[in-house]
Amino acid sequence: MQKILPFKISGLKKSLYISDNKPSPLLMNTQKKIIYSQWAIIAILIAVIIYLLLQQSKQAAIIWDLQHHVEADSITISEKLAQLEELNLALNRAKIEIEEFGRNSDSLQMRIDELNQYILKVKAGQVKKVAELNARIEEFKKLLKLKDAEIAMLRAKADSLTLSLYSMSKEKLKMKDTITTLKITQDELQQKLALASILKAEDITVTAINKKGKEIEKGRAKDVAKLKLSFTFADNKVARQDYKDIYMQLIDPMGMVVEDKNIKGGKMRIFDSTELAYSQKQTIKFDNTRQTVTFLHEKAGGYAPGTYKVDFYAEGYLIGETGFIIHR
C-alpha cells in the first residue's frame, strides 16, 4: 500500500514520494539545491581563507622589507658617522696648525663646535636621512680643503721667511720656535690626534734584483744582488703634511739587522724611548697623495738563504711590516 503525503504548490496537490522507494522530482530538486548551496558556502569559505593567507603573506613581506631597509640604513648611518668623526679630527688638526702660524681660529672653532653638535644628533638617532648626512659631509670636506689650502699658503710664506731668519737675533728665533711648538691643551683631543696621525704603510712589496740589474721573480741566494723594498702611504687626513724620516729595518734569518754596504745605518728612537738599529733612512715630504717610498738595499757578501723580515718606522711608530724568503 503506497504512502501519500499531500501538500499544495500553486494551488495543486503534490506528493513527496511517488512510491515507498522513489522520491518525487520535487524532493530531488530540493536536495540538489541544498547540496549546491553547501558547496557554494564551502567555496566561499575557501576563497576567504586563501585571500586572508595572501594578505598575511604580503604583510610579512612588507615587514621583512622594512626591517631589511632599517638595517641597511643603520649600517650606512654608522659609516657616515665615522666619516664625520674623521673630519672632526682633521679640522682640529687644521685649527692647531693655523694657530701655530699666529692666526685667529675662532671662526673655525665655531664650525668644529657645530660639527660636534651634529655628531651628537646622529649618535642620538635624530638624523635619519642619508642624503642629509652626505650633504653635511661634503660641506665639511670643502671646509677642510679650504683650511688645508690656507695652511699650505702660510707654510709657503713661513718657508720663504726662513731664509732671512738666519740674520735675525736669537730672541726673534726663540719667539718663532715658541709659536711653532704650541700644543693643544685638551688632553683627550691630543691623544686622539696623535693616534689618528700615525702613518700606515700599504701595498708593501719586496723584489729581488740580480747582478745585471734585472728584477727576478723567485730569488735564489746566489742570484740576488740587491733588494728593492717599496710601500705606499695610506690616506691620512689628520697627519701633518711635512717632512718625515722613514726608517727601514731589514732583519736576516738569524734575527740580526742587515746593513747596507753603501749606505750607513744607525739607531732610531721609537715611541717608548727604546733605541733600535735600522738599515736605511729616507726623509720624505708627506703630502697625503698616497706616495710610494722605495728603498734599494745591497748587502756586502750577498744574502744568505732563509726567511727575512722588513719593518718600516716613522715618527717613532711601526707603520708596516712584511716577510719574504730567499731560496737556496
> Distances from the Cα of 236 to the Cαs of 210, 239, 242, 269, in angstroms?
36, 6, 13, 23
Q: Rounded to an integer, what distance in angstroms lies between the CA atom of residue 224 and that of residue 19?
A: 119
Sequential pLDDT tens for the chain (328 residues): 444 444 444 444 444 545 555 667 777 777 777 887 788 888 888 877 887 877 776 775 555 554 444 444 567 888 888 899 999 999 999 999 999 888 898 999 999 999 999 999 988 888 878 889 899 999 999 999 999 999 999 888 887 776 666 566 656 666 666 555 555 556 666 666 666 678 999 999 999 999 999 999 877 899 999 999 999 999 998 889 999 999 999 999 999 999 999 998 999 999 899 999 999 999 999 999 999 999 999 999 999 999 999 999 999 999 999 999 999 8
317 sits in which H/E element: strand 317-326
The rounded radius of gyration (Å) of the Cα atoms in the chain is 41
What is the structure's pLDDT at 197?
A: 75
Q: What's the 3-state SS for 193-231?
A: HHHHCCCCEEEEEEEEECCCCCEECCCECCCCCEEEEEE
* Residue ranges of domains in the chain: 69-195, 198-326
Among 306, 278, 98, residue whose Cα is nearest residue 182: 98
Residue-level pLDDT at 26: 72
Stated as kind and residue range, the H or E segment containing 248 is: strand 243-251
Gap between the Cα atoms of 101 and 153, Å rounded: 11
Q: Could you please report the per-residue DSSP string of 97-108?
A: HHHHTT---HHH
Dihedral angle over CA of 185, 189, 193, 195, nearest 10? 120
The reported pLDDT for the residue numbered 179 is 56
Which residues neighbour 317 within 8 Å (Cβ) at sequence distance 6 or greater? 198, 199, 270, 271
CB 243 within 8 A of CB 285: yes
| CATH fold for domain 198-326 | Immunoglobulin-like (2.60.40)
- Alpha-carbon gap, residue 130 to 73, rounded angstroms: 8
CA proximity to 99, closest of 186, 164, 160: 186
Where b means 16+ CB within 10 Å and e means fewer, 199-209 reads: bbbeebebbbb
Residue 22 confidence (pLDDT): 61
Going by C-alpha positions, the residue among 143, 242, 229, 146 that lies closest to residue 199 is 242
* β-bridge pairing 275-278 and 243-251: unpaired
Is the pTM of the predicted complex or chain greater than 0.85?
A: no
Q: How many CB atoms lie within 10 A of CB 151?
A: 19
168-to-100, 164, 176 alpha-carbon distances in Å: 20, 7, 11
C-alpha 137/C-alpha 224 separation (Å) is: 50
User: Reduced to 3 states, what is the DSSP secondary structure of residue 312?
Assistant: strand
Query: Residue 23 is placed in which grid cell?
Result: 522520491
* Alpha carbon 51 to chain centroid, angstroms: 47
Which residue in the block uniquely carries the three cell numbers 501519500? 4
pLDDT at position 108 = 92
Give the pairing of strands 215-216 and 226-233: unpaired
Q: Which amino acid, 115?
A: L
